[in-house]
A and B are shown apart, each in its own frame.
Chain A
């Protein structure tokens, strides 16, 4: 009996032509693309695929999330920590529409993801059949590409194209909708990976003349300043970036999604830019003479008021996506192409420099920020626990080696400001879309993708309750993630804005919360709550020492604010320290 089974499995992994069903073909395509884990939720229109997932369960691990949105965020976490394509799968109708938030998040944060949805049988398309929805129409604006399959024979080519498009060039989400009859239909299957699409140029060729022009500007600059983004991580250009920074002695800052590409402790890493970024890089954006943007897109949360953003500086933009050039900030030199390639070309053209005086300016402003903000965040003397001191304790106990998965809001800004990183791909957060509820499922995906790493989710009490049901997934799959909820009993960021800009009218931001520890324990997850400073260290130690998943609630001060802050519509140099 066992022998026959083994034989069957061996036969199933070959790629020569064989007559199989569409649904079996889908699984074989996923395996051929190197998918080992996928996240999803079954339902009527995707049942044939689930039946095959059952048969192939020793080769491909399906994780049942508790909501389809959780499946997409888990796939995103899986992709962000590894660089591999995350896969989410759902049924038609509500299953498919529940994927949309995660897809939109992956689109704006350039995360490689393939989503597969079941669809009603092709003869029912357009008839308002049970659980029919036009998911192609709905997902079009938030996908890099999408396609509906209504014949089994289309499956191999379309799935191959989906993976190729999701991971190549500027990555993004792709959705494939497959009618139920195509899943049942038998056809002669063979698989070939996609190597290119006629109308699609994933990586524009770097023009050496542009690189030379950039080098000329950088070499003659007195006050050069680098702002790098996630493009560096996506292109795996971390080493090249560090080499450039060190050779030319350029103070360098990062966008929220660029965090961890260069270790926090690197002497030329001057911190985060943007609305709640560090004081020095924001203020000195408007003082530098050459601003070198690498793999970032000048998001409004980074630039503040565009009309007064680095207007004194020459702008160099290293970018893979031509549509980003001059989109928000006009460039003097743009260098198209993959950051790894273009930075490699740039390095030999740079003159060694140290810019000591210029760098000192960053240190001086850091000292001001330390006195006015950081000291009280990390070493508070007042009674209430701060979010910052929780992060500091996690830094100490993980030695900066953990991957930090944050949700959206105040705790996210604190996590990104204070988390110390030694390893790239360690800051997983929803940057562009700002999706509350992202962190818990994303942490599941990250931990399953990199089981050897410590994965700590930092979540607010608001966002936690948007996807809290994924505790069920953590329990069922025994995913040893560490969950830290920084509970201030408020939707903190909105409350902060209400305090600063709406005269403290706290409209619908106060949260009456449940017993979070009891809920975690209800899922058989070890848990505790900390309300006093003296208990924090021990609690974090217990969490990190726990073999399995762990939930730690920390009651932090209720009305703490995140500073520095660039108010909406203000210039980066008008950043407020209080």
Chain B
């Protein structure tokens, strides 16, 4: 029962200042570390969608979802297992330009990993890679041998395989 899993939490909310505090406090209060968090517009006008990745037991996950949904400006919150979602993360590598010529291996790595060169100038070039966390981590390992000037990775974004009936729910609220 207390086995922990990685869950992707999707939260549909009003787009209001202060909601980040309110939602993150729910995790913080229970000493739950947020693995990643992303907030963006959703498929519905004026509705934000949050994608939060956390590791905990399903029993706790359910209770946390209850606490999130209880917030006045939260429309609906769901949690999903890895199998139930299609998800991606994205990352950027900044690397010294001379390495592109001194270490030809780098070009192969970029090609094989399906990464994309975003920009090149005299001093540095930037590689972008989207994919699953493991793919991003692999690329990071391969490139760190040559030295990375800067690295950053985004939070997870995800869509579910099942339909999300948020629009219908919002209509129902209004009647």
Q: Residues of A at under 8 Å CB distance from B?
A: 136-137, 140-141, 144-148, 165, 196-201, 321-323, 325-327
Contact = CB atoms under 8 A, between A and B. Distances in A.
B63 A199 contact: no
B21 A140 contact: yes
A191 B71 CA distance: 25
- Of the listed residues A141, A146, A321, A323, the one surrounded by the most CB atoms of chain B closer than 10 A to its CB is A323
A148 B73 CA distance: 15
Q: What secondary structure prevails in chain B residues at the interface with A? A: helix
B14 interface: yes
A137 B72 contact: no
Contacts of A144: 72
Contacts of B17: 148
Interface in B52-79: 62-63, 66-67, 69-70, 72-75
A146 B71 CA distance: 11
A165 B72 CA distance: 8
Contacts, number: 51
Nearest to A325: B66
14 contacts: A137-B21, A141-B22, A141-B29, A144-B72, A147-B18, A148-B17, A196-B173, A198-B170, A199-B72, A199-B75, A323-B66, A326-B63, A327-B63, A327-B66
Contacts of B70: 321-323
Given A136-B18, A140-B21, A200 B63 contact: no
Nearest to A321: B70
A199 B73 CA distance: 5
The 5 closest A-B pairs by CB, nearest first: A323-B66, A199-B75, A145-B72, A323-B70, A141-B25
B18 A198 contact: no
A148 B62 CA distance: 31
B174 interface: yes
A199 B66 contact: no
B13 interface: yes
Nearest to A143: B22
A141 B70 CA distance: 12
Nearest to B19: A140
B173 A326 contact: no
Interface string B91-121: 0000000000000000000000000000000
A197 B25 contact: no
Interface of B: 13-14, 17-18, 21-22, 25, 29, 62-63, 66-67, 69-70, 72-75, 170, 173-174
Nearest to B172: A201
A199 B25 contact: no
A327 B66 CA distance: 9
Given A145-B72, A327-B66, A198 B29 contact: no
Given A136-B18, A140-B21, A323-B63, A197 B72 contact: yes
A165 B73 CA distance: 11
B18 A140 contact: yes
Nearest to B18: A136
B65 to A, nearest CB: 9
Contacts of B25: 140-141
A202 to B, nearest CB: 9
Given A137-B18, A146-B18, 8 more contacts: A136-B21, A140-B25, A141-B22, A148-B18, A196-B173, A199-B173, A322-B66, A323-B69
Contacts of A322: 66, 69-70
Nearest to B170: A198
Nearest to A144: B72
A199 B75 CA distance: 5
A331 to B, nearest CB: 13
Contacts of A136: 18, 21
A198 B66 contact: no
A300 to B, nearest CB: 15
Contacts of A327: 63, 66
A198 B63 contact: no
B35 to A, nearest CB: 22
A172 B17 CA distance: 20
A201 B18 CA distance: 20
Contacts of B74: 199
A172 to B, nearest CB: 10
Contacts of B72: 144-145, 165, 197, 199-200
A140 B173 CA distance: 25
A165 B22 CA distance: 16
- Of the listed residues A147, A148, A198, the one surrounded by the most CB atoms of chain B closer than 10 A to its CB is A198
